[in-house]
Structure formats: structure tokens, C-alpha cells
Amino acid sequence: MTDFWKDNPRLGERLAKVAGIMDETIRTDGFPLADAVSVLIDSKGKMLRPAFLLIGSDFGQGPGSARAKKLVQERVLALAAAVELLHVSTLIHDDVIDDADLRRGKPTLHTLFGTKEAILAGDWLFSRCFTLAAESSDPQGARALSRVIAAICSAEIRQDLDKWSYSTSVRAYLHKIAGKTAALFTLSLQVGAQEAKAPAKQTEHLRRAGYDIGMAFQIIDDILDFESSLGVMRKPVGKDLAEGLCTLPLIYALKEDEVGMRRLIAAIRPDGAGIDQGAVAAVIERCMELGAIESAKKEALRFTDRARSEILRLPKGPSRDDLAWIAERLLNRDY
């Protein structure tokens, strides 16, 4: 697990328990790629989604017997593991779709074992995710998980169909990342709260905060594709551009200089040939010159401000502080 939590050992210790459940889960039924998937899980992922689910559950720990509270905690830990297994399965499938060589600085599953095996591994993780959810959640939570998977798949399909088209619609971009990323952040906080029987009003504030944090997170992720480095990001910089994706910095640059930017973009894949990395670098440089990166950062800040507002409506305490701390860390991160 990443050192993201080194300044928050309380959450880090709980997430270590979640990681233990995940490891135990992938080693059931003689899963042939258990060791390889375990490496992916252990390769310094942030585990944000299970952290949000745990935080959400903290707002529902009201009166009750010690045994009842322990049962809720066990169910919440299992659900947190299910949410992260879902996330890992989507990463494996994403890497196949994108033909990516690296994930979190490690060789991707399909480069090690082949496309067929990687797809089946992702499918197997989906099945284990649903098993954990069915065993640890009420039907409402399981249905919510199913809806999120549908939203993620729909957003990924839409993103793939839009490759190399370079739409300048900010609204369309935000709609895509809402399904691709924010939906699972939202689900994690909401389901954690619901499983622990948090008040409906608090659950709604958590749901909205999760959406806003998720939106800001993905915008920052897209910005880092322009201004980070391979050593920090553990994946090639300019990867989105090389795959024909139009993210928010590029959209803002196109709005500032559409003719010039489209000329530069066309050089990335001349006549459908291989990717020209020099052209990728030229697009990144021009986006910076046009102030597109700063404009995208302002949009991420706008969503973070909205999240801050929702968080302040929650009861004071360590869990509210944890959520506010995460929102700030994600806005100002470099990986």
C-alpha cells in the first residue's frame, strides 16, 4: 500500500485490514493468477475508495451492543475490500483496452500472461467483488454496486468511441468522468454510511462530497498527464494524448487556439501511423503556453470547494477531518 496514509495511521491501519481481506479473497478457489494480482494490489495503490467507504461508515456508529457494532465493522471491511477489488478489475481491463505496458510502475497483467488471461482475471475479480458484496451488504448496496459498474462501462465505451475526435465540450467531458471515476467515489461514501445506518441527511452530504472529490481527482489526474514525469506517475506522461483522448487541459487549449491546436494534434498520429512523441511534447508545451493547465486546475478547485462545503455540513469529529484532509491531499498531489 502507498505511503499516502503515512500521516494518517488510523486510516492506514484499517486499510491494512482491508488489504488482508483482499489478499485472502484472491487466494480462494485456486485462482491461478493470485500471486500476480497480489503484486498489483500491493504496488502502492492509494486505496481511496475503500478509505471513503470506511469513513462513510463512521457516521453511522450510533448506540448498540458491542457485538452488533463488531458485525457492522466486519461487514464494512468486507465491502471496502469488494469496492477495491472492483477498482482493480477495471484497471486490468483498462490496461488491455489501452495496451498499456505499465501499471503503478509494474508490468501490466496482459504483458505478462496474455490478453485472454488478463481479461479473465478481471472477470474473476468482478465475480469475487459481487460475492463479497452479496455476503456483506443488503440488497440496496448490491444494486448500487451493479449500477456503478454499468456507469463505469458506459463511460469507458463512450471514451473509447470518442478517441481522436477532440470535442471541445466541457460538459461532455465532465459527464464522462462522472461515470468513469466519480461514481465509485460517490458509491463508497454513500454505501459505507448506509450500511452503518447513518442519518439520511448525513448520507446525502457524503454522497455529494464523494462526487465532487471524484470529479476533482480525475481532473487532476488528467492534468498530471501533461505536467508530471514517468518516475513520479509510474506511467508515461502524455499517455492520454498518445491514445487520442481529449481531456480538460486539451479542451481549454482548443478553445483558446482551435486552428493551431488541431494542427499540432494532427501530427501526433500522422496519416494513422505510429505515435510521434515529439508531437505529443509540442501539444503539451502549447497547452501550457495557452494557460490551459491553470484553467483545468481552477475547475478541479471548484469541485474541491464544493466538496469542502458538503464536508462542513457533517458532524465535527475525526472522520470529518479525515475526509477534508483527503480532499486537500488529492487536489495538491503530484501522482
- Asked if 191 and 111 sit in the same domain, the reply is no
pTM (2 d.p.) = 0.92
* Distance of alpha carbon 131 from alpha carbon 54, whole angstroms: 19
- Asked if 88 and 198 sit in the same domain, the reply is no
Can you give the pLDDT of all 335 residues of the chain as single tens digits? 567 898 899 999 999 999 999 999 999 888 999 999 998 888 778 999 999 999 999 998 665 667 777 888 899 999 999 999 999 999 999 889 888 888 877 889 999 999 999 999 999 998 999 888 888 877 777 778 788 888 888 888 888 888 888 999 999 999 999 999 999 999 999 999 999 999 999 999 999 999 999 999 999 999 999 997 655 555 678 989 998 999 999 999 999 999 999 999 999 987 767 789 999 999 999 999 999 999 999 999 999 999 999 999 999 999 999 999 999 999 999 88
* Distance of alpha carbon 9 from alpha carbon 31, whole angstroms: 32
309 within some domain = yes
Cell numbers linked to 55:
469513513
What pLDDT score was predicted for residue 206? 98
142 within some domain = no
13 within some domain = yes
What pLDDT score was predicted for residue 228? 75
- Asked if 4 and 99 sit in the same domain, the reply is yes
What pLDDT score was predicted for residue 65? 60
Strands (E), the chain: 102-103, 106-107
- Asked if 133 and 181 sit in the same domain, the reply is no
- Asked if 97 and 190 sit in the same domain, the reply is no
- Asked if 130 and 184 sit in the same domain, the reply is no
What pLDDT score was predicted for residue 136? 84
- Asked if 183 and 301 sit in the same domain, the reply is yes
268 within some domain = yes
Query: What domain count does the chain have?
Result: 2
- Asked if 132 and 255 sit in the same domain, the reply is no
163 within some domain = no
Report angle CA 19, 125, 135 to the nearest 5 degrees.
75
- Asked if 91 and 213 sit in the same domain, the reply is no
- Asked if 190 and 124 sit in the same domain, the reply is no
What pLDDT score was predicted for residue 183? 94
- Asked if 76 and 183 sit in the same domain, the reply is no
Cell numbers linked to 180:
468513469
CATH number for position 128: 1.10.600.10
- Asked if 184 and 51 sit in the same domain, the reply is no
What pLDDT score was predicted for residue 64? 60
For the chain, helix (H) and strand (E) counts, in that order, are 17, 2
What pLDDT score was predicted for residue 162? 87
Burial class (CB in 10 A: 0-12, 13-18, 19+), 165: exposed
188 within some domain = yes
162 within some domain = no
**Residue 114 belongs to what domain range?**
1-137
Burial class (CB in 10 A: 0-12, 13-18, 19+), 316: exposed
157 within some domain = no
